[in-house]
Structure 1
Amino acid sequence: MPGVSMAETTFTFQVDEGLKDAFAEAAKGSDRTGAELLRDFMRDYVRDQVEAAAYDRWFRREVEAAIAEADAGNVVSSDDVEADAEIWRAEIRRRLNGAAS
Structure 2
Amino acid sequence: MPDTNYTVRIDEALKERFNAAARSEHRSGSQVLRQLMTDYATAMEREVSYDRWFRDQVHEGLDALKRGDTVPQDTVADDAAERRARLLGGEPSE
Which TM-score bucket, shorter chain as reference? 0.7 to 0.9
1:79 and 1:54 map into 2 onto residues whose CA distance is 34
Q: Which of 69, 84, 94 matches 2:90?
A: 94
Counterpart of 1:37?
Answer: 32
Q: Which amino acid aligns with 1:32?
A: R
TM-score, length of structure 1 as denominator length = 0.73
Counterpart of 1:7?
Answer: 3
Partner secondary structure for residue 74 of structure 1: coil
Counterpart of 1:21?
Answer: 16
TM-score, length of structure 2 as denominator length = 0.77
Counterpart of 1:49?
Answer: 44
**Which protein has greater RCO, CA pairs closer than 8 Å, 6+ apart?**
1
> Structure 2, unaligned stretches of length 5 or more?
none
> Structure 1, unaligned stretches of length 5 or more?
96-101
1:6 and 1:41 map into 2 onto residues whose CA distance is 15
Residues 49 and 88 of structure 1, relative CA distance in 2, 3 Å threshold: same
RMSD: 2.2
Aligned length: 90
